[in-house]
Structure 1
Amino acid sequence: MLVALALVALLVGCTSGTDTNADTDVAGQGYESGDGSTKSWPALDRDDPVEMAGSDFTGAPVDVADWRGDVVVLNTWYAACPPCREEAPDLAALATDYADRGVHLLGINSTDDAGAAQAFERTFAVPYPSIADPDGQAIAALQAKVPVQAVPTTVVLDRQGRVAARILGRADPSILRGLVDDVLAEPAPTP
């Protein structure tokens, strides 16, 4: 009898441990997970500039048009999103490392109230603003130029404000830096 119970316990332990997705399953967590896929557009194939303006979570105005001539990285996020939390330190480091090279980061948050968003920004020492987008206007402006099919989604805009690259899901820091470096290496637009 003791041997039979031990065998049942062993079998139950093996079957419950065979679901390798149990800890990583995102079903029911409230976000559409991206696969980290990347798409880039050659300069000649890029559409018109992204027009996006709003207010950050302190009420200060933000307009990507103010950064024309520089490279801009846009990132959709919200505080309870696990991949957003994972990539936040990498994005903060990118913002700091590239600030003097003419690169600006801007978050877009359609979900959180100011308290949750500002707590996230403090926790991860986020040095760049995020547009508070409860009505979805900033996402709609971006969606008009490039599909935003997951949160997080990261979009790199060239110096003219046009979509140069997109990452669906958590941005791998080395891939994102490579995309930014590629856009920085492009010739500056002629006035």
Structure 2
Amino acid sequence: MTGIARRVLAGLAVASLALLAGCAGGTNGSNDTVDQGYQSGDGSTKTWPANDRGDPVALDGTDYEGKVVDLAGSRGGVVVLNTWYAACPPCRKEAPDLVALATGYAGKGVRFVGINGTDAAGAAQAFERTFKVPYPTIEDADGRAIAALQGAVPVQAVPTTVVLDRDGRVAARILGLADRSTLRALVDDVLAEPMPTSPGS
């Protein structure tokens, strides 16, 4: 085997490992919170204490059926945002857990919303049918939803899962594949926080 062939194979191996951790990554973590540099999509978790959270996330769009999705109407409840696309291996792996959690929390004031900036409607809706996804996904071909989210929390890998508190502020983030028990614990912690003084304001 030539030296060039070895280098090509090594490069393919590194790319495969990156796909297993997260389907896409960024290179600039300069906007992250204190002591948090760039992180690969390795399932790492970051939480923000209530008094260190920024402004509410203002995020809206339409789903793949053309219905409006606006987070402003979810104030007073907890929101879980998940970025994904159909051909992403970790997105497919975590989908059953997200579906189970969304179903289990449906009556507890927790709303799940997907964000997909890659897929055309056919691919996205096939994914949603395959995994029986019960929550809407914002079709984000123009990148507006991700830009709004990036303004509050760095999103450096797909999938990324973000938990918003009852005021719509970023409380936690998982970069890469979301572990079911970890996400449940994050959601439970935010649910246990006091209700805001003016829900929906």
TM-score by length of 1: 0.85
Cα distance in 2 for partners of 1:65, 1:131 equals 14
**Fraction of identical pairs, as percent:** 71
Question: For residues 19-168 of structure 1, what are the structure 2 equivalents within 5 Å?
Answer: 24=17, 26=19, 31-32=24-25, 34-168=41-175
Tell me the amino acid that sits aligned with residue 74 of structure 1. Answer: L
Cα distance in 2 for partners of 1:167, 1:141 equals 17
* Residue aligned with 1:179, SS: helix
Tell me the amino acid that sits aligned with residue 158 of structure 1. Answer: D
Cα distance in 1 for partners of 2:23, 2:115 equals 17
In structure 2, the CA distance between the partners of 1:26 and 1:63, relative to structure 1 (3 Å rule), is same
TM-superposed deviation, 1:93:
0.4
TM-superposed deviation, 1:22:
9.2
* Residue aligned with 2:158, SS: coil
In structure 2, stretches of 5+ residues that fail to align are 1-12, 26-39
* Residue aligned with 1:148, SS: coil
Equivalent pair of 2:23/2:157 in contact (CA under 8 Å):
no
Equivalent pair of 2:23/2:159 in contact (CA under 8 Å):
no
Count of residue pairs the alignment pairs up: 172
Q: Which has the larger radius of gyration?
A: 1
Cα distance in 1 for partners of 2:18, 2:161 equals 22
In structure 2, the CA distance between the partners of 1:184 and 1:31, relative to structure 1 (3 Å rule), is same
TM-superposed deviation, 1:96:
0.2
1:60-119 CA-partner distances (Å, limit 9, x unpaired): 000011111000000000000000000000000010000000000000000000000000
TM-superposed deviation, 1:21:
7.4
Tell me the amino acid that sits aligned with residue 190 of structure 1. Answer: T
Tell me the amino acid that sits aligned with residue 56 of structure 1. Answer: D
Cα distance in 1 for partners of 2:139, 2:86 equals 12
In structure 1, stretches of 5+ residues that fail to align are 1-19
TM-score by length of 2: 0.81
Cα distance in 1 for partners of 2:190, 2:65 equals 30
Partner residue in 2 for 1:5: none
* Residue aligned with 2:19, SS: coil
